[in-house]
Amino acid sequence: MRVYDGILDLTGKTPLVRLRTGIRSDGPRAYVKLEFFNPAGSVKDRMAVHIIRKALATGVIKTGDTVIDNTSGNFGASVAMVASALGLRAILTVPDKTSKEKIDLIKSYGAEVIVTPTDVEHSDPKGYYMMARNLAKKHGYFDMTQYDNQDNVEAHYLTTGPEIWEDTVGKITHFVAGIGTGGTLSGAARFLKERNSAIQVIAVDPEGSVFAEYVRGNQLPEPAIYKVEGIGSDVVTKALHPDVIDRVITVNDKDSFDRARLVARNEGIHGGGSSGSVAFAMEQVASECGGEAVIVGIFADGGIRYLSKCFDDEWMIEHGFLPSEKMMEKGR
C-alpha cells in the first residue's frame, strides 16, 4: 500500500510548474514551486515541522506543552497543524490585516488566535510581535521566534534548496523568492549557491518594507503600511542572510495583486498576493535573460486564503486597486 503514517510526512517535495504569464515565448524557462501543495497550504509547513520536531527530539518541549509565535497567518496555520498532530497546544498572535480565511484556518486546528493592531511600533506590547514574546516569557511557553530562529533557515537548506536543485537537474540559473522572515530565501539560496556560486538570487520585497534597503547596505527607511501579506517587515530579521542575495526587486501592492489575479485567470495557478509579487519580479528577471536561463520562483501559498481580499473585486475597489464606475467617471 502507498500510505503515510501521518499528515506531517506529506511536507515538502512540492512541484515545479512552468510559468508563462509575463515570460516571452522565445525567452528563458520560468518555473514556480507551488508551496500550497504542503499539507497546511504554505511554505511555512517546512519550518514548523522542522522546528517543533527538533524541539521535541532534543527535549526542549514535550507532549502537552504550549508553543507560541507571531504570524501574518501562514506560519500560524502551519504551527497549529503541527501542534495538533503532535499533541501540543498552540497560541498565535496575528495583525488585524490578516485575512479572515487565515485566522479561521488557524482556529480550525484548535489553536488560540490573538488579533492585534497592525499600525503600531514593532516594540509596542500591543503589537503581534511583542505580544508573543511577552506571553512566552510570562507563562514559559516555547517561543518559536520565526524571525530570528536559525532552524527556520536550516529547514529550507535541508529541503527546499535540494528539491529545486534536483528537480532542475542543476540547471537553475536564477532563484526568486519573497522575503518574509528571510528563512526560505536564505536557506534555499545558501544550498543552491554551494552547488553553483553563479546562480543569481533575487529577493522580492513589498514597497513599505525595510528589507530592500537593508540588503542594499543603505540606511533603513521608515516602514510604511502595505496590504500584501506574508512578505516584508518593519524590522530586520536574523533569519535573513543578506550575503546570499545578489539583488532585490521591490514590488507594490497593486502590481502584486494584479499579477496574482492574472496568473490565476491565464494559467489556473492560484497563488496568493506574495506569489503575484514573485511572478511580477520574475517577468523583470526574464526580460534580462537569454533563452538558456532557468528561473525558479517560490509561490509561498494559495489564493484561496485571499478570496475576501485581492481576489474580491469589492475589496480591490475599496482599496484603490481596481477602478470603480465612479472612479472611472472622475477620470474622464
Q: In angstroms, rounded to a whole number, what is the distance separating the alpha carbons of residues 158 and 18?
A: 24
Catalytic residue among 33, 44, 102, 309: 44
Per-residue pLDDT, averaged over 84-100, amounts to: 94
Annotated catalytic, 44?
Answer: yes
* For the chain, percent of residues with pLDDT exceeding 90: 91
Q: How distant is the alpha carbon of residue 306 from its chain centre?
A: 14
Q: How confident is the model at residue 126 (pLDDT cuts 50, 70, 90)?
A: very high
Phi, psi of 42 (to 5 degrees): -155, 170
pLDDT of residue 22: 97
> pLDDT confidence of 330, banded at 50, 70, 90?
very low
The DSSP-derived string for 164-187 is HHHHTTT---EEEEE-SSSHHHHH
Rounded mean pLDDT, 180-192:
97
Q: How confident is the model at residue 325 (pLDDT cuts 50, 70, 90)?
A: low
- At residue 228's C-alpha, the angle toward residues 316 and 186, to 5°, is 160
**Among 244, 263, 252, 156, which Cα is nearest to 202's?**
244
pLDDT on residue 324: 73
**% of the chain residues with pLDDT over 70:** 98
pLDDT at position 118 is: 87
Angle at 302 between CA 300 and CA 306, to 5 degrees: 115
Name the band, by pLDDT with cuts 50, 70 and 90, for residue 331.
very low
Indicate the length of the chain as a whole number: 332
SS3 of residue 71 by DSSP: coil
pLDDT over threshold 80, residue 329: no
* Residue 208 falls in which region: left (phi positive, over 0), alpha (psi -120 to 50) or beta: left
- Give residue-wise pLDDT tens across range 237-264: 999 999 999 999 999 999 999 999 999 9
- Sign of the Cα torsion 316, 322, 328, 332 reads positive
* Domains of the chain in sequence order: 7-42+158-318 (3.40.50.1100), 44-143 (3.40.50.1100)
pLDDT at 175 over 60: yes
Q: What's the rounded Cα separation, in Å, for the pair 263 and 3?
A: 33
The CA R_g of the chain, rounded to the nearest whole Å, is 19
Contact indicator for 133, 75 with CB cutoff of 8 Å: no
Does pLDDT of 101 surpass 80? yes
The Cα–Cα gap between 303 and 271 comes to: 4
Q: How many CB atoms lie within 10 A of CB 149?
A: 21
Residue from 44, 37, 114, 120 nearest 77 by CA: 44
For residues 277 and 261, give the distance between their C-alpha atoms in angstroms, rounded to a whole number.
Answer: 11
Torsion sign, CA atoms 267, 270, 276, 279: negative
Q: How far apart are CA 114 and CA 110, in angstroms?
A: 13
Return phi, psi of residue 245, to 5°. Answer: -100, 130
Residue 332 scores a pLDDT above 80: no
pLDDT, tens digit, 9 for 90 and up, residues 9-36 = 999 999 999 999 999 999 999 999 999 9
User: Is it the case that residue 326 has pLDDT exceeding 60?
Assistant: no
Q: What is the pLDDT of residue 35?
A: 98
